[in-house]
Amino acid sequence: MGKLGILAVVTVAVTAATAQTFQRLGACPDLGCVLPPDQSDFLPGQYFDLRLEVHAPVNGSEAFNNGEPDENFTVTITKEGGESKSIAEFFDVAEPELEKWDFHWYEDLFAKDAHAPSVVNVASKIYRKLAIYEPGNYVVTLKYYDGQTTTANWVVRPLATQKKAKNVILFIGDGMTTNMITAARLLGHKSINGKYQSLLQMDQFPVVGHQMTHSIDSFITDSANSASALYTGHKSTVNAMGVYVDSSADFFDDPKVETIVELLKRTWDSAWGAVSTAAISDATPIALTGHSRSRYAYGSLIDQGLNSVTNYSWTNQGGPDVWFGGGAEQFYPNSDSYEGKDYYEAFAKAGYEISLNKTSLLELGNSSRALGIFCQSHFPVWLDRNVFTENLESFKNDPLGSENPALDLPGLKEMTLKAIDILHTRGGDKGFFLMSEGASIDKQMHALDYDRALGDLLELDDTVRATINHLKEIGELENTLVLVTADHGHGFDVFGGVDTKYLSAQENDRDKRRAVGIYEQAGLSQYTVPVEGVSYGTGPNFPVNWDPRYSLAAGLSANPDHRENYRVHKKPRKVVSNTPGFSKNDLFVDSKDSPDGFVINGTLPVSESAGVHSLTDVAVFAMGPCQETFGGVYGNIDIFYKVANCLGLARPDNKPPAGPGSGCKKHQGQ
Amino acid sequence: MGKLGILAVVTVAVTAATAQTFQRLGACPDLGCVLPPDQSDFLPGQYFDLRLEVHAPVNGSEAFNNGEPDENFTVTITKEGGESKSIAEFFDVAEPELEKWDFHWYEDLFAKDAHAPSVVNVASKIYRKLAIYEPGNYVVTLKYYDGQTTTANWVVRPLATQKKAKNVILFIGDGMTTNMITAARLLGHKSINGKYQSLLQMDQFPVVGHQMTHSIDSFITDSANSASALYTGHKSTVNAMGVYVDSSADFFDDPKVETIVELLKRTWDSAWGAVSTAAISDATPIALTGHSRSRYAYGSLIDQGLNSVTNYSWTNQGGPDVWFGGGAEQFYPNSDSYEGKDYYEAFAKAGYEISLNKTSLLELGNSSRALGIFCQSHFPVWLDRNVFTENLESFKNDPLGSENPALDLPGLKEMTLKAIDILHTRGGDKGFFLMSEGASIDKQMHALDYDRALGDLLELDDTVRATINHLKEIGELENTLVLVTADHGHGFDVFGGVDTKYLSAQENDRDKRRAVGIYEQAGLSQYTVPVEGVSYGTGPNFPVNWDPRYSLAAGLSANPDHRENYRVHKKPRKVVSNTPGFSKNDLFVDSKDSPDGFVINGTLPVSESAGVHSLTDVAVFAMGPCQETFGGVYGNIDIFYKVANCLGLARPDNKPPAGPGSGCKKHQGQ
């Protein structure tokens, strides 16, 4: 499966072709909208834009005022115990111009089936680059339609202005749940009579917490929105990052919030970087710098990473000190790069050393900024890079854009260790922030390819282990807060063992299910039992046999139609396919997948080719300075505030500190 | 669904009719067995039995020595750095007599289908009521067949002998995973723009940990074995409690290990009790005192609870100070009570006040020991006790054994608060230990009745909230370690929202799946939105609407065939049924369940009527003395050692402390 195949799976997974709940505008149940909305939290001194909208539905159940939105709405802000002021007065900014537009939506699936959209006319204003410096409670009140009001209660949190940690390394296992961690441990670590003889590195972290991952306007999140919550302290809508989603058509005019690396750059001038086994333009890495309602505006988001926000005055985060990942199609000049430009050249001009393979990655110096783009699209997964290596030849993912395969690929560990060396050198006493993502835990769970997902989870854990050892070696372990967490889950679990030989030998689907052994018949993991003649050379902490006769019975609560034989898939998995005579939104089991298995019909709309994200809280593992603040249960946005507190990023005074990026000057910090 | 219906679901769930992995004897891969086996841990001074077996397989792949087991095996124990001694010498006990028996097993499913068992002859000895007082590492070596050896490395942990907590309350949400906690929060607590306006009580605990739940000889556990691990510090085999499972036929001769309440009684003479919404003879409550390979020996286990172990010399735990739960059929005289006796009478004779309904529960004094048995079988669940109350009439569960329904039922909260008052009074300065179980989280997940499971999870959380408030009121909060955890999981998660109206309106199964909304179309929880005319009177922290048009799309990775319409089931759920013309082990979707839904074929053997346990680590929430020791990731047995440490239960000297139960004297402490 080449680049297009991978992207197809992921794209379908996050852009639902069918839908159940429709909303006029998330975070705006009234006809008046304040964005940031009610219940928003802020870091003292954090920049944000304030969008106000007044809606006049033309038709549908909410039809109002003949579709004429109130253009004379007013808005005030009041600090608790203080007096109300207009926004312009309070923030000492000019009154913005009124904007007008319209949009449409469907009230429910019946309306959609009937092609009966509801149309809404909008009057709006946006105040840009505001900040509140004094901690406390604030109320923003929007008045419209001669007596209607929408209020937003905001909290500007009191937080530390002094650093407790010099460095922060945030590992994100995309889509990684506690259930998956448990399964990966069973694959990679041997136990005797119920006692593990070795453990995952994350098992050995002293502090565990749980974070709630839901969106602002839906109880399920995607990776853009959840990454943005982790990086900004503000929840948003599916597919958005660094902004609250307004109802205008423009993907790049939505009200922004400042991110952790923007704050870190202008506050302490620290070094920062991102490493991922996804395209570097993918949601989790790019949300550090991206401000857009659409995670799919890949090219523009890459430009924002290098050049910061350019359409409005905003913090210049200086460009990453390190970016290592995939996604070459946003770099070599082509229709997927921003304005068709050559971003390898743009980064080189900005002083970056460029690396396109593992060999040159390892040869990079530590003093220059570095861009390493090792393939098109997302990385081939750990299992294909290390066990089924013949699959690498089938990818057409050369980082220069040819149809050749990228064969000299680093792993997450090599990228992360090199990134630490560069950030440590460049950050010096100012420290650094690194986000390192195991991306395909999620992407392979979407594909129902459990072994590939868990292989990448073990790779992430192996990277965490190597990172801790490396931090010890360079004398930075005591100074570094290390976090391992996820952005959301998938409803995965292991429920038994399978005699794959027996399953394959049965004639019909119902008999095949007898091969599933539960409770005491689940047996012991055979993935850690050496087999003569089988060696992958992948060392400890990984399975010694990926294809035992007695395998794991595992699955997801949300599935397309699929077939299971519970064996490792020697080729990347594709569970459904278009069927001649049926619509391309009417998918059935792919006849080539797990042919000796039994069919399980899905629980998702038949247009879905992949599994989907789930609700579950995900774990946070913490060690280092401030580790004690990460126990218990909290929202994903709280991780931003805990990290900001540990990094002393709050500015509870009226003066932004001097430093790069505090004005509009560009490319500072090169 | 009456008593038999409920029990049928549960029984089938834990006694697999089909099987995948078979083992000659768990924890004994060699032909020589040492039980406790390699990698066992012990509390200093904890009593245990030592079973040795030598196997001679008569036929099959392991056939050996013409089926003649070595009767002249020898066994030694060596403390690290010390000299080897015979067991009799080291422990100063008499040499036991040799035992002999045979058993049979199947090597795999092909052998089972061919009715080709493997027969094994056994020679064995068992040394009873041993204890090691000195912390350290020990090696037990079994020698047999002229040169073969089986070794067991044991660790006697160094632990505190002083109390840090006066009281311990251990809440067990049976089968409760982080995923379920997340879903229950969404049902019972309102959020605005992604910020919860209230939280679960367990969300507010300061410390979170994860525990690994697997069995000693299988990566999936049941509730007997996992409860036993929590209470004894020793893992065991599915269906066993308080023992390691040997290969003899007798359910009550297996090698025992001492439990937390046995230790607590003989060490500090504290009060102890158990509360459950299951039958009190069910695995989780009865494993505090039970020593049997079979959790299904309900009557005998009740006798052990009152009278302690009677077939061998063992600790007398004095009988519970409080037992509140269901399971009346083990109390009124009938074929399900031990030897047909009247255990209400037996408890009354032993000085217990007896309560059979909520009214008399609330009238109980606090100074006498109390037995409260409120119904036959397990409790009707919270949803039936509080919302669909008309269902209570359909149960034939009168605690006196008639076919009348038990209608005056307490909830977990009333039972737990009353138990605390009694234990607090009776324990006095000596403190107390209470286990309180929300049992039907598990039982209803087995039944795929997600709403009933989550209702009981919310009841558990409400009980924890009330407990903390009550401990404050009686001045014991500072003295009490409160833990909330689970014994294992089910592979449950929520993956979207459902427009149930649209689903119901579609004609065919594939179209119905369009009603499932994912990501942004999952929408917001409608369970917290008030509906005119709908009020259950269940107060805050519970849903205000259990049957919204937009419901949760949820499911399990392990299922029998079933049909889903994603609406609350107004009657308790039964997903499959026997079908005329098919074997009773060949189950199909019950035509009466969710008739407007779509069918999902299962992943389990077609003989299974219910979902099954899963692998996932489960959360531990801790507050109070020693809370800081519960962070991070550890095994379920470690919870026993952490609690024992906090209670100062280690006896690292050669003299068991004086106190009740230290000898063979019976019924002490009454």
Put simply, whether B193 touches A (Cβ < 8 Å) is yes
Q: Which CATH architecture has domain B3-13+161-491+613-646?
A: 3-Layer(aba) Sandwich (3.40)
Structure tokens at A229: 């919550």
- Is-catalytic flag, B223? yes
* A 221-250 residues with CB < 8 A to B: 221-222, 235, 237-239
Mean pLDDT of B269-293: 98
User: B654 pLDDT band (50/70/90 cuts)?
Assistant: low
- Is the CB of residue A181 less than 8 Å from the CB of residue A619? yes
Check whether A284 is labelled as a binding-site residue: yes
Residue B665 has pLDDT above 90, yes or no: no
Q: Which residues of B touch A635 (CB under 8 A)?
A: 194-196
Q: Which residues of B touch A520 (CB under 8 A)?
A: 16, 23, 26, 215, 217-218, 220, 237-239
Using alpha carbons, select from A338, A344, A405, A416 the residue that is nearest to residue A375.
A405
The three state secondary structure string of A407-464 is CCCCCHHHHHHHHHHHHHHHHHHHCEEEEEEECHHHHHHHCCCHHHHHHHHHHHHHHH
B17 vs A533: which has the higher pLDDT: A533
pLDDT digits (tens, 9 = 90+) for A350-366: 999 999 999 999 999 99
Domain with CATH 3.40.720.10 in chain B: 3-13+161-491+613-646
pLDDT recorded at residue B4:
33
**Hey, are the CB atoms on A207 and B40 less than 8 Å from each other?**
no
In this predicted complex, what is the ipTM? Answer: 0.95
pLDDT recorded at residue B652:
74
**Hey, are the CB atoms on B520 and A615 less than 8 Å from each other?**
no
Amino acid of residue A309: V
Q: What stretches of B546-587 adopt beta strand conformation (E)? A: 550-556, 562-564, 576-577
Residue A665 has pLDDT above 60, yes or no: no
What's the whole-model pTM score? Answer: 0.95
Best to test chain A binding among B107, B239, B615 (most A CBs inside 10 Å): B615
Residue A166 has pLDDT above 50, yes or no: yes
Among chain B residues, CA nearest to A198 = B634
Residue A668 has pLDDT above 50, yes or no: no
CB neighbour class for B106 (10 Å; exposed up to 12, middle 13-18, buried from 19): middle
| Total Cβ atoms within 10 A of residue B62 | 14
Using alpha carbons, select from A418, A499, A487, A23 the residue that is nearest to residue A218.
A23
Query: Cα dihedral sign for B558, B560, B565, B571?
Result: negative
**Hey, are the CB atoms on A516 and B603 less than 8 Å from each other?**
yes
Residue B213 has pLDDT above 80, yes or no: yes
Question: For residue B437, which phi and psi values (nearest 5 degrees)?
Answer: -115, 130
Of A223, A236, A248, A525, the active-site residue reads A223
Q: What is the rounded distance in angstroms from the CA atom of residue A67 to the CA atom of residue A192?
A: 71
User: B21 pLDDT band (50/70/90 cuts)?
Assistant: confident
Question: For residue B87, which phi and psi values (nearest 5 degrees)?
Answer: -60, -45
Put simply, whether A61 touches B (Cβ < 8 Å) is no
Q: Which residues of A touch B608 (CB under 8 A)?
A: 518
Q: What is the rounded distance in angstroms from the CA atom of residue A55 to the CA atom of residue A70?
A: 8
Q: Which residues of B touch A178 (CB under 8 A)?
A: 177-178, 210, 616-617, 619
Domain with CATH 2.60.40 in chain B: 31-156
Put simply, whether B206 touches A (Cβ < 8 Å) is yes
Put simply, whether B347 touches A (Cβ < 8 Å) is no
Put simply, whether A342 touches B (Cβ < 8 Å) is no
Q: Which residues of B touch A214 (CB under 8 A)?
A: 186, 191, 194
Domain with CATH 3.40.720.10 in chain A: 161-189+199-491+613-646
pLDDT recorded at residue B651:
81
Quote the minimal CA–CA distance from A43 to chain B in Å: 16
Mean pLDDT of A72-96: 97
Q: Which CATH architecture has domain A161-189+199-491+613-646?
A: 3-Layer(aba) Sandwich (3.40)
pLDDT digits (tens, 9 = 90+) for B488-527: 999 999 999 999 999 999 999 999 999 999 999 999 999 9
- Angle formed at CA A350 by CA A349 and CA A351, multiple of 5 degrees: 90
Q: What is the rounded distance in angstroms from the CA atom of residue B223 to the CA atom of residue B282?
A: 9
Quote the minimal CA–CA distance from A102 to chain B in Å: 21
Among chain B residues, CA nearest to A237 = B520
Q: What is the rounded distance in angstroms from the CA atom of residue A388 to the CA atom of residue A379?
A: 14
pLDDT recorded at residue B7:
34
Quote the minimal CA–CA distance from B326 to chain A in Å: 25
Question: For residue B109, which phi and psi values (nearest 5 degrees)?
Answer: -65, -30
Residue B661 has pLDDT above 70, yes or no: no
Residue A492 has pLDDT above 90, yes or no: yes
Quote the minimal CA–CA distance from A303 to chain B in Å: 27
Put simply, whether A173 touches B (Cβ < 8 Å) is no
Q: Which CATH class is domain A14-156?
A: mainly beta
Put simply, whether A573 touches B (Cβ < 8 Å) is no
CB neighbour class for A665 (10 Å; exposed up to 12, middle 13-18, buried from 19): exposed
Check whether A446 is labelled as a binding-site residue: yes
pLDDT recorded at residue B463:
98
Residue A369 has pLDDT above 80, yes or no: yes
Put simply, whether A510 touches B (Cβ < 8 Å) is yes
User: A652 pLDDT band (50/70/90 cuts)?
Assistant: confident
pLDDT digits (tens, 9 = 90+) for A390-435: 999 999 999 999 999 999 999 999 999 999 999 999 999 999 999 9
* B 31-50 residues with CB < 8 A to A: 37-41
pLDDT digits (tens, 9 = 90+) for A311-331: 999 999 999 999 999 999 999
In eight-state DSSP terms, residue A175 is T
Check whether A282 is labelled as a binding-site residue: yes
Residue A657 has pLDDT above 90, yes or no: no
Question: For the ranges A521-535, A591-605, A652-666, B313-327, which has the lowest average pLDDT?
Answer: A652-666
Q: What is the rounded distance in angstroms from the CA atom of residue A607 to the CA atom of residue B657?
A: 69
Put simply, whether A184 touches B (Cβ < 8 Å) is no
C-alpha distances out from residue B555 to A114, A405, A555, B497, B631, Å? 30, 40, 11, 12, 30
Q: B31-156 adopts what CATH topology?
A: Immunoglobulin-like (2.60.40)
- Picking from B185, B237, B614, the nearest residue to A495 by CB comes out as B614
Check whether A561 is labelled as a binding-site residue: no
Of B40, B118, B215, B223, the active-site residue reads B223
Put simply, whether A487 touches B (Cβ < 8 Å) is no
Alpha carbon B507 to chain centroid distance? 43
pLDDT recorded at residue B371:
98
Q: Which residues of A touch B523 (CB under 8 A)?
A: 20-21, 23, 218-219
Residue A108 has pLDDT above 50, yes or no: yes
Q: What is the mean pLDDT of chain B?
A: 94
Put simply, whether A106 touches B (Cβ < 8 Å) is no
Spatial neighbors of B622 by CB under 8 A, at least 6 apart, are: B205, B206, B207, B208, B209, B481, B482, B483, B629, B630
